[in-house]
Structure formats: C-alpha cells, structure tokens
Amino acid sequence: MTAPRPTPPSGGRVEMIHGAGGKAMAELIASIFAPALANPYLAQGNDQAALPIPAGGRLVFSTDGAVVSPLFFPGGDIGKLAVNGTVNDLAMAGATPLYLSTSFIIEEGFPLADLDRIARSIGAAARAAGVAVVTGDTKVVERGKADGLFIATAGIGVVPAGLELSGDRARPGDRVILSGSVGDHGVAILSQRENLSFATDLESDCAALVPLVAAMVAAAGPALRLMRDPTRGGLAATLNELARQSGVGMALEEAAIPVKPAVSAVCELLGLDPLTIANEGKLVAVVAPEAAETLLAAMRAHPLGAAAAIVGTVVEDPRRLVRMRTAFGGERIVDWLAGEQLPRIC
C-alpha cells in the first residue's frame, strides 16, 4: 500500500473523492482495508499481486457478487458472505482456496464505521478459510446509484493432481448426501426483513466449507463424484442442475432432508418451499453407493456436517427429473424455482 498516515474511520462517511484515485482513496485503503486484510501480497502495493505458482494438478478460479440486503444479518454480514461464497465455489472442486480479490462498489454517504466493520469481517472470514485477500479495487458511485455497498470477490485455488470432481459425474445408483439443514440463510435474511420476531434465533449458516471438504475427500477418495453448494435457488436448483449436467434423474426422500422448525414455520407463513431457499454453508455430495456410509460418518464427525444425511439416490431418467417421495407417502416433482423470487438474500 502506498498511502500516507492512516486516519481512523470514526464518524465519517464515504465521499465521491474516496473513489477518485487520489490521496483520499489511498488513505481510505491504508486506514480501512490494509489493516483489516494485512498480508505480504497485498502489501506489495502494485497494480497486481504477484504470487508463487501453486504446486498441484489444476488451478480453479471463481467469482461471486454479494448484494445482500440488509448488509448485517444474524450469523454474518456482506463481507463474510462475499468471502465464503467464492471460497465455497472453489472448495466444491476439492480445491484448497488460496487467494481472493475484492472489488468494492460503495454508495456515496456510506458510513465509514460500517465499511470498517465489513472490512474486518472480510479479514476474519479470510483467515478462517485460510485465504489471503491479495488485491482489491474501490469505486464510489453517487447517492442513489447503489444500495449502500456491493462486493464482488474472485478466488484462486489449487486442486491436487488426480482429484476430479465435476457436475457431470453422477451415475445411477450413486447416493446424494446433504451436509445439514436447508433454508437457514435465506430464511434468516427474510425474517430480518419481514420483522418476524418468532424467528429471531435463526442464523445464517454462512461458513467456509473448506475443512469439511478436506475430511470428505480424505474419507471417500475417488468414490466422491462431485460436490456443489446449494446457494441461490436452493437444493431444488442445485439438484436439477446436476441432473441435467450428468444426464440422470434423482429420487429424494423428503423425510430425510433436515429442515429446522423455525425455517419450516417461516416458509409456511410466507408460502415458500425450503428446498428453493438459499444456503451459504451447506453442500450436496454425490458418492458411489459403496462409500456412502463411510462418507456420511466422516461428515457427521465434523461440526459443519453434524446433521448430514443421505437424502436420495441418483436414478436413470431420460427426462432428468428430480422426484421426491413426500413425508405423506406421495410423490412430487422438485422443479427449480420458476415464478418465485427471493431477491437480494445473497
């Protein structure tokens, strides 16, 4: 970082000049971002971070924009979400996430104290996930031209040689394992927005899945076909994507899918299906049948997979449908979100 004396971010607000590329921007970066994210790569102070070439089989690269509203919610904030969103998309390939970039788009008038809190949350989430935020960008747009703050992160990870996880690898007979309860993130955000006081204990599940993934890869080896995090569109969208990509169908057991009582209650009240609600700290794995119990045991032994369950089976189906035996013994097709909209929960 190239900036002069840092000034503490008390009381002030972000102004247009903070995005103009001059002294005020350098001071903002030096006083808020640099200390929160501190690492030797960011400290190089050039237009790009120079990094050692990682040893392994492949690089992986991913990006996610975070536009959640409100910016602070039970269990997290936009900064934590922006880190874990990209970290998890890397981890789903079995990768070790290494480096992140952050692009801030800030509305004029945004409180510096909130920016500081969010920057520190990014730093903490990055440390927890074992990644370094090595480069960034800061833009400011006029009042009314954004909704407080948007953050786009991108990330680089490395996959060990020989590990091949991809959405096209599900085969009939494989088991579908879910790492825990669905709907927590989306419902936690919605409850805040709708002021549903009875759901105040509910927290977003926002978390980095890196250590759970490491345990899973170690336990299942090549029997692990693929992993995916059911974020926007929820479990329903993710399973439909995977069915299409692998050219298979899925047969689910509703009774096996963990849903917290508060999530069920809010969904009933608002007329939502928990299977279409976003999660930010869950994953779906598809595994060869002979390794399913071993994998499940390894997942349950980890805090991030304590409530893991086998929720279904991959089946042959030229129509690539996701079907579910309901708790009442009937059957329904689990389609991906069509009419419904749950904007701005991630």
Q: Among 77, 123, 73, 68, which residue's Cα sits nearest to residue 100?
A: 123
33 interface partner picked from a copy of itself, Mg ion, ligand ATP, none, CB below 5 to 8 A per type:
ligand ATP
Phi-psi region of 109 (alpha: psi -120 to 50; beta: other; left: phi over 0): left
Contact 136, 102 (CB under 8 A): yes
For residue 141, which amino acid is it?
V
Residues 271-330 that bind a copy of itself (CB under 8 A): 276, 278
For residue 104, the cross-strand partners are 138, 151
105 interface partner picked from Mg ion, a copy of itself, ligand ATP, none, CB below 5 to 8 A per type:
a copy of itself
Contact 285, 217 (CB under 8 A): no
Q: Among 152, 137, 128, which residue's Cα sits nearest to residue 63?
A: 152
Of residues 9, 14, 34, 64, which one binds a copy of itself by CB under 8 A? 64
Q: What's the rounded Cα separation, in Å, for the pair 335 and 346?
A: 21
Verify binding: residue 101, a copy of itself, rule CB under 8 A. Answer: yes
Closest contact distance (angstroms) between CB of 293 and ligand ATP is 28
Residues 217-276 that bind a copy of itself (CB under 8 A): 228-229, 231-234, 237, 241, 244-245, 276
Verify binding: residue 64, Mg ion, rule CB under 5 A. Answer: yes
For residue 198, the cross-strand partners are none
Verify binding: residue 338, a copy of itself, rule CB under 8 A. Answer: yes
CB nearer to a copy of itself: pick between 251 and 337: 337
| Residue 129 tokens, joined | 């996930």
Of residues 14, 31, 89, 308, which one binds Mg ion by CB under 5 A? 89
Contact 183, 263 (CB under 8 A): yes
In angstroms, what is the C-alpha Rg of the chain? 21
For residue 52, which amino acid is it?
P
CB nearer to Mg ion: pick between 189 and 199: 189
Residue window 128-167: x/- pattern of binding to Mg ion, with contact defined by CB under 5 A: ---------x------------------------------
Verify binding: residue 205, Mg ion, rule CB under 5 A. Answer: no
Q: What's the rounded Cα separation, in Å, for the pair 53 and 64?
A: 23
Residues 29-58 that bind Mg ion (CB under 5 A): 47
CB nearer to ligand ATP: pick between 2 and 10: 2
CB count within 10 Å of CB 107 equals: 18
Of residues 174, 205, 229, 280, which one binds Mg ion by CB under 5 A? 229
Verify binding: residue 280, Mg ion, rule CB under 5 A. Answer: no
Closest contact distance (angstroms) between CB of 75 and ligand ATP is 17
For CA atoms 185, 279, 66, 237, the dihedral sign is negative
CB nearer to Mg ion: pick between 245 and 294: 245
The footprint of ligand ATP (CB under 6 A) covers: 21, 29, 33, 37, 42, 45-47, 64, 85, 89, 102, 104, 135-138, 231-232
Closest contact distance (angstroms) between CB of 263 and a copy of itself is 18
Neighbouring residues of 271: CB distance < 8 A, sequence distance ≥ 6:
none
Closest contact distance (angstroms) between CB of 232 and Mg ion is 7
Q: Which residue is nearest to ligand ATP (CB)?
A: 136
Verify binding: residue 90, a copy of itself, rule CB under 8 A. Answer: yes
Q: What's the rounded Cα separation, in Å, for the pair 104 and 83?
A: 13
Q: Among 186, 256, 271, 177, which residue's Cα sits nearest to residue 224?
A: 177
Verify binding: residue 137, a copy of itself, rule CB under 8 A. Answer: yes
